[in-house]
Structure 1
Amino acid sequence: MIGITTYLEQAQTGVWDVPASFLPKVYLDAVTDAGGIALLLPPQPSSPEVAAAVIARLDGLIVSGGADVDPTLYGQASHPKTGAPRVDRDAWETDLLTAAADADLPYLGICRGAQVLNVARGGSLHQHLPDLVGDERYQPGAAQFGTEAVSVEPSTALGSLVGDGVDAQVYHHQAIDAVGEGLVVTARSADGIIEAIEDPAARFGVAVQWHPEEDAEDRRIFAGLIDAAKDFARQKQEH
């Protein structure tokens, strides 16, 4: 049972135009292709106790992509290109990741999910990558993914799944700057931009800045999460 965080967006369906929980189907396909069952976790009022109760009912967690993290959470003023804060997601997903780590629940962060994990551990973000790299290669255009060669550290959980590199589907204008406590960098682009982090103390605590759900031919990262979740579920049943 893999919980996946969702967006809360204005959505149209039939005659209705209302706020709704939303998640692209590619996330669901990635989980089910790898042998998991996807459960949606919409933004909602949160507390450590609520998050712990949710985590207790899961075997794994995915924190999905989406809007920028509130820069006040890492002590910065907002860059002109930083999106409006989504405090509902920030609080909810921070609590879920903290509860997952406390429970040794396997988790995977994707794009925004990697940034939430890093900020939750006291790290910071680069708010606008074009200021660093000089162009928009990491987010070429609206709904248009870029492809970047990413080098992966082989002696890591991520490296054990994908080897020493991937051609990553990227869509981000922000990235990890100072790395949060207990986390290590496991992948970078040729520019030196951090593209993955993980918690080596976790059963499975991996977060990637790119979008592996977009590659239907490569489910290795999701398979790694599902394998860890199966082990977690088995041990939970034994106790």
Structure 2
Amino acid sequence: MTFEAILKEQTGVLTRRLRRMVGDVETAEDLRQETFARAWRSGPRDAAAPVVRAWLHRTATNLALDELRRRRRREHVPLHEGLTDPAGGPRDPRLAEALATLTAHQRLVLLLRFEAGLSLREVGELLDINEDAARKRVARARTLFLDAYAAAGADDPRPTILLLLGREDPAPYVAWLEAQGARVRTLDGTQAGLDLAGADALLLGGSETDVHPSLYGAAIGPHTVETDLTRHLRDLSALRHALSTNLPVLGVCSGAQLLNVLHGGTLHQHLPDSAYSSLDHRDAHDVATAEGSLTRRLLGTEPGVISEHHQAVDRLGAGLRVTSLAPDGLVEALEVPGHRFALGVQWHPERCADGLDGVGARTAAALVEAAAA
């Protein structure tokens, strides 16, 4: 294959990868063009195709990381430092212990797939194997890793719930879940990576920042003044992976909104500007649950909840089911049919004391039970 043919082949692949890293297609295209320009100037043009592809991906990744550092959106976490979190603190020590049982190649495959976020096709290209072979290698390495991870925690049978947060205080979530018998691992950086692979369930907590409208194809409105695109891109990636592996998922407040966005839905950017202005959605109120839903089974017909939000689900995402409504008709809960536990609630169950219809305790107990299974 000629050098020009390789560049043509990699145009779409590199653009998609760069877009996942930097968040917008325009910057991704600029970085891809710069990658190609550097390839023409100093790349291994006469090398074998796998070598050229690997050089292109490495160069594109470095350019993207330079761009992210320039924006001060997040710090770079090199693959060889994958055993510490992006803030520099320790991760679950069982992760290091489990990884140490694998071969160097198996560790590389896992780090490329989960830490670097490469697709199976990209992993295959870097290893010079086809996508199906990459899938098998990742699956085998992941199975061995999870077995080793479970063995490392054999003395603690509690299910592990990964809590994804931004700048929010994890203490209320941790206490709420631990009261129902879970072990909680909090991640407040920009990557879920192998932490997600070692979790029994995923919880997306509420957010002090609004979901960036570009994630659902809208312009930023006047009341959407603070966003965290990097955090929400991470959360969407974690959600996508959790759903694809049938991992139990609970989205709280903005976590429910992201579940809708992931499925192609949109959001009301500011409820007072919409038809939903008669009810105070920053206080306690009742909701009505749908018959035959997980929400109904957990919470009954009309539980009382506590919410605090100014954004909410607008157009429902494809394949989702609305399972709870507020008195003014606003979507309060949605589920992914066919998934063993995938629920998004617009309210804050971690704030709902047992006296408020037991909503908080029952929600946490159901998530922990699903995680333990």
> Does the alignment reach a TM-score above 0.5?
yes
1:107 aligns with 2:249: yes
Matched, 1:58 2:199: yes
Q: Distance in 2 between matches of 1:42 and 1:130?
A: 30
Indicate whether 1:174 and 2:311 are aligned.
yes
Q: Which has the higher strand share?
A: 1
2:266·2:317 contact (CA, 8 Å) conserved in 1?
Answer: yes
Contact conserved, 1:136 with 1:173, CA < 8 A, in 2?
no
Asked whether the equivalents of residues 305 and 352 of structure 2 are also in contact (C-alpha less than 8 Å), the reply is: no
CA RMSD of aligned residues (A): 1.4
Q: Deviations over 1:6-33 (max 9, x none)?
A: 113xxxxxxxxxxxxx424111111111
Matched, 1:134 2:271: no
TM-score by length of 1: 0.83
1:121 deviates by 1.1
C-alpha displacement of 1:135: 5.3
Give unpaired runs (5+ residues) of structure 2. Answer: 1-159
Note if 1:32 corresponds to 2:178: yes
Report the counterpart of residue 158 of structure 1 in structure 2.
Answer: 295
How many Å separate the matches in 2 of 1:163 and 1:189?
14
Q: 1:6-64 deviations in whole A, cap 9, x for unaligned?
A: 113xxxxxxxxxxxxx42411111111111111001131x4xxx64x332200001000
Residues 112-147 of structure 1, C-alpha deviation per residue, up to 9 Å, x if partnerless? 1001111011100011111223357113xxxxxx01
Larger helix proportion, structure 1 or 2? Answer: 2
Q: Please point out which of 153, 161, 178 is paired with 1:2.
A: 161
**Which residues of structure 1 form unaligned runs of 5+?**
9-21, 140-145, 232-239
Please report the TM-score for the alignment, with normalisation by the length of structure 2.
0.54
What secondary structure is seen at the aligned counterpart in 2 of 1:92? Answer: helix
- Spell out the pairing of 1:1-239 with structure 2 (5 A cutoff): 1-8=160-167, 22-44=168-190, 46=191, 51=193, 53-66=194-207, 67-131=209-273, 132-134=275-277, 137-139=280-282, 146-217=283-354, 218=358, 219-231=361-373
- Contact 1:130/1:136 (<8 A) preserved: no
Q: Percent identity?
A: 36
Write the distance in 2 (CA, Å) between the matches of 1:160 and 1:23.
Answer: 30
Instruction: Write out the 4+ residue segments of structure 1 that deviate beyond 4 Å after TM superposition.
Output: none
CA distance in 1, matches of 2:170, 2:371: 22
- Structure with higher RCO (Cα < 8 A, 6+ apart): 1
Q: Is the 8 A contact 1:197 1:207 kept in 2?
A: yes
Distance 1:154 1:28 in 2: 31
The one-letter amino acid paired with 1:124 is T
Separation of aligned partners in 1, 2:233 and 2:276: 30
Cα deviation code 1:186-205 (max 9, x no counterpart): 00001000000010111100
Q: Give the Cα–Cα distance (whole angstroms) in 1 for the partners of residues 348 and 220 of structure 2.
A: 25
Structure 1 207/97 Cα, relative in aligned 2: closer, same or farther at 3 Å?
same
Q: Is the 8 A contact 1:188 1:196 kept in 2?
A: yes
Secondary structure of the corresponding residue to residue 296 of structure 2: helix
Cα distance in 2 for residues equivalent to 1:29 and 1:180: 32
| Distance 1:24-1:135 versus aligned 2 partners, 3 A rule | farther
Native 8 Å contact 1:187 1:194 kept in 2:
yes
Q: Which has the larger radius of gyration?
A: 2
